[in-house]
Chain A
Amino acid sequence: MIGVWHAWRGRTPRGEGPWAWLSAGSVALSLLALAALLLLLTVRGLGHFWPADVALVTLADGQQLAGVPVREVALPGDGRERLYRTGNAELEDGVWAWVPVAAITEVEYPRELVRVERRRGDEMVGWLVGMTREDGRWIEGARAWTALQERLHVLQGLRETRDRLRETVILPHVSEREPGDGDTPELTRAYARLQELQAAMEGGRLILRAAGGERLVVPLEALQSARRPNAMSAIDKLADWSDAVWRFLTEGPRAANTRGGVWPAIFGTVLMVILMSVMVMPFGVLAAVYLNEVAHQGRVTRLVRIAVRNLAGVPSIVYGVFGLGVFVYGIGGTLDTWFFEERLPSPTFGTGGLLWASLTLALLTLPVVIVATEEGLARIPDQQREGALALGATRLEMLSRVVLPMATPAMLTGLILAVARAAGEVAPLMLVGVAKLAPQVPVDGHFPFLHLDRKFMHLGYHVYDVALHSGDLQAALPLAYATALLLVLVILVLNLTAIFLRHYLRVRHGMPSPR
């Protein structure tokens, strides 16, 4: 060790000492932490959709179980234990099984093992014994597999028709109807059609044999999909994987948010952010123009500028409290007593909703837009303004024809940063209108089309809810990873755009970096 020390003192030309290396290490550690976080989210978020092979495990005592290996931990003392996800919740030892690695005598991957995904509840794993069709005919063997796939396809189509019917015809009619009214003819027809569809979906069962030998019977309409992952080629799996990712992005959540997709959350996040941008941009630019171009540049303006800058550092939850007190209880409550008295005491605008959430976030991101726009305005050389004025332009013309067009990239940067910040904020939304589950998206074909009073779902809140408030955490965790990854990707892309835009701005104006 002393030799190393001397070699080091002797050889380093400037004798940097240990502290320089520790500071280098802190850079490396920060980068490593960031990379590890992103890698974890990517692997776990995307890996969840991969149709993993199902292992058939034979234990030393002759017992068999079939499942997907999830992870392995070291036991206290010696040996390791492996967790298998075996599914089959109706069996006594269902869903998860811890197996000591030492007790495993054989692991096989039989091609015929079937993994069935249910619409609600856990998946099933076993051998296909056969199925009864909806007309009561019994099929077994290889023909059963094709028949099953066909039937599942038909069921999926029926389900889509039913959901469309519900969303486009029944829900609008029901919400329009006065409490005392009977059904309109249109509604009666829709109900009849709904029952027809429901009836067409019923019938037929699937019979599986679990690894332990038990027979499992499940009605076909309770199934989402069935696959034989061990028999799939890599290309099949890739297709299956992209299909699963696509369904995650486009479908609604099922089974209390522990299954299915996040489409309503994506929709809610995007809609809320758009509304927020529409509100924040005019006011932010107005305030920035006032502070930079119109106001007398004295002590007061400087103080106001510092105050606005500091508001960007005020915790977001404080904005949420403000939104709840002023927008929801204050303005919303007043609106309710004026316009929606007949619905009281159930509140219309006097509770959290899309409008209040986007207003709160607009307030939250206002400092971001103001600061970015001001930065852009301050970069524009005064000669430009003076030139315009000298040519006879009024101040309005100077601003609208010369200054603002030059500041557009800065405003855009501000907007993107604001959107990136707003998309990731969850704490204020918990107070002003986010919902665990909002079956109706806030936009539909029913007047006034955009329902500002509705609650909405949000990606960030979805992560929080799935991770902390779901009954079966092990099953919900992959979904939380995937949602978190999606959120991070959206925000990273937005921020990268802002960074490139700012770079472009600097290059175009040929100016050194600020500060």
Chain B
Amino acid sequence: MSDASPDTSSRRRLRQARDRLATALITAGGIGVVVAVLAIGVFLALEALPLLWLPSGTETLGLSALAWGTLEAAAWSLVIAVPLSLGAAIHSAMFMSRRLRSRLKPTLELMEALPGVVIGFVAGLVMAPWVERHLGEVFALIVLLPPGLLLAAGLRACLPYRWQRWLPMGYAGLWLVPWLLLVMATALWLSPWLEVWWFGGDLRDWLEQGLGLDVAMRNALVVGVAMGFAVIPSVYALAEEALSGVPSSLAEGAQALGATRWQTLWRVMLPAASPGVLAAVMIGAGRAVGETMIVLMASGNAALMTLNPLDGLQSLAAGIAIELPEADPGGAHYRWLMLAALLLFLFTFLVNTLAELVRTGLRRRYRQLGGNA
């Protein structure tokens, strides 16, 4: 490696020139790509800007109804997704066997990859008609599932110890599945009696005449369940990450002082991980707000502003998907839809940034606490 000869030195100059060129290209390309990606927000803002000097009162698109629908759908999906995904995260961080956890994570990752159009299809064309015809059964399912689970726990405790070992807590996520099926079948079987007992025969009549609520086939509740299903994996992944990142010294210390696993979790781990859990919920909310196909196919697309979970709704994203192809570019309608897109962009971007900052801060805190995250 001597550079005495003129030949090698010229080669070296060539190599260095090439290196400088490549670095410049990479820099230019990298900055270009990043700028192009970030240009989305700027573009939407520029397109929506002329709305400011539009004569007021020309056309307002009913953006408020769409925004309401978006928030309503997101709220219902979080009502479904947050308990389920946080429960799953808690279970897999604290109780689940390591083996099962390493299998569960990729499974839920696959669940996250399911396309929205398929979930929307099943929700809108299979679940919605069924729910419409079987409101009482749905109610019975919701009411009877938690006691059914606790009953499983109670029955297990009554078993002889030898049998209990066949049903370990670490694998409860698996062996509870057939039990759940059994509970569901029982709930479906019991539902006619329950309906008679609680609602005097028919839940639907009771809702419509007793409470004056409309019941639409494709309603906010169906959207909430479907979108909750779509949101569960991402919330689970982030919450589980936050919980399992809690320094093990904390949990071990609490348990050494005599706390049960649940007490450890509730009093020590959850407070420590709460920012991360909050970030997970926020990211779930961001995803629910922007999801298009599920709302489009399962909501009935009626721009209503009601609190009734059994009535239809339309979201910003669905409104854009339906109306933008027909809107005249440059017209007022087009600009309103651009504003809708801008709102979606800003909301998700801000929520995600906030969540990311929270997570970064949390990771730093864990490191200070001496964890290995």
Interface on A for B, CB 8 Å cutoff?
Answer: 4-5, 7-8, 11-12, 14-35, 37, 40-41, 73, 283-284, 286-287, 289-291, 293-295, 304, 306-311, 313-322, 324-326, 329, 352, 363, 366-367, 370, 392, 394-397, 399, 420-421, 423-427, 430-431, 460-461, 463-464, 467-468, 473, 477, 480, 484, 487-488, 491-492, 495-496, 499, 515
Q: Which of B314-373 contact A (CB under 8 A)?
A: 317, 320-321, 324-325, 329, 337-338, 341, 344-345, 348-349, 352-353, 356-357, 360, 373
* CB atoms of A294 and B356 under 8 A apart: no
Q: Majority SS of interface residues in chain B?
A: helix
Q: Majority SS of interface residues in chain A?
A: helix
Interface string of B277-306 (1 = CB under 8 A from A): 000000100110111110011000000000
* CB atoms of A310 and B297 under 8 A apart: no
* CB atoms of A315 and B291 under 8 A apart: yes
* CB atoms of A424 and B117 under 8 A apart: yes
* CB atoms of B122 and A37 under 8 A apart: yes
* CA distance in complex: A32, B184 (Å): 11
4 nearest A-B pairs in the assembled complex, by CB-CB distance: A290-B30, A315-B290, A424-B115, A26-B87
Count class of interface residues, chain B = 35 or more
> Which residues of the other chain, A, contact B241 by a CB distance below 8 angstroms?
515
Taking the complex as formed, is B307 at the interface, i.e. its CB lies under 8 A from any CB of chain A? no
- What are 6 A-B pairs with beta-carbon distances under 8 A? A14-B260, A26-B86, A283-B33, A313-B287, A313-B349, A473-B125
> Which residues of the other chain, A, contact B104 by a CB distance below 8 angstroms?
27, 31
* CB atoms of B158 and A17 under 8 A apart: no
> Which residues of the other chain, A, contact B325 by a CB distance below 8 angstroms?
324, 352, 430-431
* CB atoms of A294 and B349 under 8 A apart: no
* CB atoms of B117 and A28 under 8 A apart: no
* CA distance in complex: A326, B41 (Å): 12
Taking the complex as formed, is B118 at the interface, i.e. its CB lies under 8 A from any CB of chain A? yes
Cβ-defined partner of A468 (8 Å) among B31, B94, B124, B324: B124
> Which residues of the other chain, A, contact B232 by a CB distance below 8 angstroms?
30
* CB atoms of B1 and A318 under 8 A apart: no
* CB atoms of A492 and B158 under 8 A apart: no
A371 CB to nearest B CB, Å: 12
* CA distance in complex: A421, B88 (Å): 25
* CB atoms of A318 and B44 under 8 A apart: yes
Interface on B for A, CB 8 Å cutoff?
Answer: 1, 15-16, 18-19, 22-23, 26-27, 29-31, 33-34, 36-38, 40, 43-44, 47, 83-88, 90-92, 94-96, 104, 106-111, 113-122, 124-126, 133, 145-146, 149-150, 152-155, 157-158, 161, 169, 172-174, 176-177, 179-181, 229, 232, 236, 241, 245, 260-262, 266, 283, 286-287, 289-293, 296-297, 317, 320-321, 324-325, 329, 337-338, 341, 344-345, 348-349, 352-353, 356-357, 360, 373
* CA distance in complex: A5, B344 (Å): 49
* CB atoms of A18 and B177 under 8 A apart: no
Cβ-defined partner of B27 (8 Å) among A12, A34, A73, A294: A294
* Given A23-B88, A32-B177, A491-B115, 20 additional A-B pairs, CB 8 A: A7-B154, A15-B260, A19-B262, A21-B149, A21-B153, A22-B149, A26-B84, A310-B352, A313-B349, A315-B317, A316-B290, A317-B344, A395-B19, A397-B19, A426-B115, A427-B292, A430-B325, A467-B124, A468-B297, A491-B113
> Which residues of the other chain, B, contact A19 by a CB distance below 8 angstroms?
262, 266
> Which residues of the other chain, A, contact B373 by a CB distance below 8 angstroms?
515
Cβ-defined partner of B84 (8 Å) among A7, A29, A461, A499: A29
* CA distance in complex: A353, B18 (Å): 39
* CB atoms of B33 and A315 under 8 A apart: no
Name A33's closest neighbour in chain B (CB-CB): B229
* CB atoms of B320 and A310 under 8 A apart: no
Cβ-defined partner of A315 (8 Å) among B84, B133, B150, B344: B344
* CA distance in complex: A324, B107 (Å): 35
> Which residues of the other chain, A, contact B121 by a CB distance below 8 angstroms?
463-464, 467, 480, 484
